[in-house]
Amino acid sequence: MKAFDLEGLTIGEIAPLIRKKQISPLELTRRYLDRIKTLNSTLNAYLAMMEEDAVATARRAEREIGKGNYRGPLHGIPFSIKDNIATKGVTTTAGSKILADWVPDFDATVVERLKNAGAVILGKTNMHEWAKGSNSINPFYDTSYNPWDTTRIPGGSSGGSAVAVAASLCLASLGTDSAGSVRNPASLCGVVGLKPTLGRVSVFGGVPGTGGYTVNHFGILAKTVKDCALVLGHIAGHDPKDPLSSDEPVPNYTKLIGRPVKGMKVGIIKGYFEQSLVGEVRRAFEEALRMLKALGMKAQEVTIPHMDLVPALQAASTRPEANSDHDHYLRTRPRDYSPGLLYGLIAGLLIPAPVYVTAQRIRRLLCQEFDTAFESVQVIVAPTLFTPAPTIEDCNRGYIEADGKRINLADRAGNFLTRYTIPFNVTGLPTISICCGFSSSGLPIGMQISAPPFQEGKVFQVAHTYERVTEWHKRTPQL
């Protein structure tokens, strides 16, 4: 068997070695399980381990591959799953006290598809309570800690998933993203996070009350763009169990990877993505833009007339949808929510119905405005967050200090940590976050790349080209 180091390992590199029987899926799985045993007490990335299942699946993969029955690039690959995605026979808490003992008797469609592809599921990852927040400070299961600096948040709500990938506690993870919950932690932990087009991936098996219906997506966290593309190819596609899933054909997402981007146009939206933007993030983003231009892309400013309404549209969509799902527990177990979440849910009960419906109408307008922008550019880029990872203390006191200023982490329009990611939830556009630099204190900084609906291939093409000429994704946290 080939010797290998878990840090820096990617699916793209290891899958061919598994196929050629040069790496044993069983040995690989055991190595990850050992690493989790060593590091999880420090990072709190996993809530539940599936050790027995994982070893049995890896053993089966080894046997099948040995007999020449190789299922594809996910065969024998260790994954983790966010704890608001149903896993048959395994506790699925959604990071909540209320569901602390819930054991689903079914798999989410994405889990079923991973299993069919021969993937090995190591366990369930920690998250923000009910996915209703972006710092993964969880009062019931403790905070997940950022592997680059454990005094800092990993982002969220898929915080544990991002920590698991960044700290090499799995090769990829599935998360959910209704306001940036895949891209935000991917950015703060220095990994790749993809939110596909709304409907591209079935959300059947997502815990109700953790994302709503109109802006919620399942997404992928991985070490490289190519790994994201490989995983998406296996989990995307229509699902009769999810009426909102699309029947758009699933292309070969790795096909565009490696194709040149010369001549492509990249759109920049002025104003919105400059709110509270911290100097270090601005400089990293501008440098990334210069790199895209050096690769032959042309930058062009685009205008989205109703961009300033995005926070209102997001709140008007998610809050009533959350209340629809939480009504039963609000009536029966209100004090089993953390106080902050309880107050928010009660306030949500007072949103008039016309607010919700009007928001859905304006969302269509906003999508049309993005369609118009995409007539002149192929992708739109933006920073993923206005700041690198805040400390846990920053989050508890509600502000950060940067560039000699105090910047609040929330305002009337909601959470500032999701302000840059929500435009792509409201519009459902496929968007990836990739690492585009590091702060002076060694914290990762992320950039988003977005494309028209169902053009994930274009997102991968640009993101991979950028990744290939930079070394950011190769850095690993010292643990």
Partner 1 sequence: MKDAVRRLNVEYGFNLSDQEIDLVAKQAEEAALLFQPLFEVDVTGITPLTKIDRRVEKTATGKKGKK
Residues near partner 1 (CB under 8 A) are: 197-199, 214, 244, 246, 248, 305-306, 308-309, 311-313, 315-316, 319, 330-331, 334-335, 339, 342-344, 346-351, 354-355, 357-365, 367-368, 371-372, 412-413, 427-428, 452-454
157 in active site: yes
Closest CB to partner 1 among 3 and 350? Answer: 350
Given the residues 96, 134, 136, 157, select the one marked as catalytic.
157
Q: Which residues pair with 446 in a beta bridge?
A: 435
Please, which residue, 141 or 454, has the CB nearer to partner 1? Answer: 454
How far is it, in rounded angstroms, from Cα 474 to Cα 30?
23
Residue 96 annotated among the catalytic residues of the structure = no
H or E element in which residue 432 lies: strand 431-438
The b/e string for 321-355 (b: 16+ C-beta within 10 A; e otherwise) is bbbebbeebbeeeeeebbeebeebbeebeeeeeee
Closest CA to 73 of 7, 156, 172, 4: 172
If the CB atoms of residues 245 and 465 are measured against partner 1, the closer one turns out to be 245
Angle CA(20)–CA(166)–CA(128) in degrees, nearest 5?
Answer: 125
Closer by beta carbon to partner 1, 127 or else 313: 313
From the CB of 305, what's the least distance to partner 1, in Å?
5
Q: Which of 158, 181, 187, 276 is catalytic?
A: 181
Cβ proximity to partner 1: between 296 and 334 the closer is 334
Helical packing angle, 353-373 and 310-332, nearest 10°: 140
Candidates 24, 82, 195, 226; catalytic one: 82
- CB 166 → partner 1: shortest distance, Å? 30
Closest approach, Cβ 321 to partner 1, in A, equals 12
For partner 1, the closer of residues 361 and 406 by Cβ is: 361
Across 165-314, where does the E strand assignment appear?
172-177, 192-195, 217-222, 265-269, 298-302
Task: Give, in order, the Cα–Cα distances in Å from 357 to each of 302, 313, 316.
Answer: 28, 10, 9
| Dihedral sign of CA atoms 438, 439, 445, 447 in order | negative
* Nearest distance from C-beta of residue 308 to partner 1, angstroms: 8
Query: Minimum distance from CB of 213 to partner 1 (Å)?
Result: 9
CB of 268 to partner 1, least distance (A): 20
Alpha-carbon gap, residue 206 to 107, rounded angstroms: 10
Task: Look up residue 207 and give its two tokens.
Answer: 């815990």
- Residues identified as active-site: 82, 157, 181
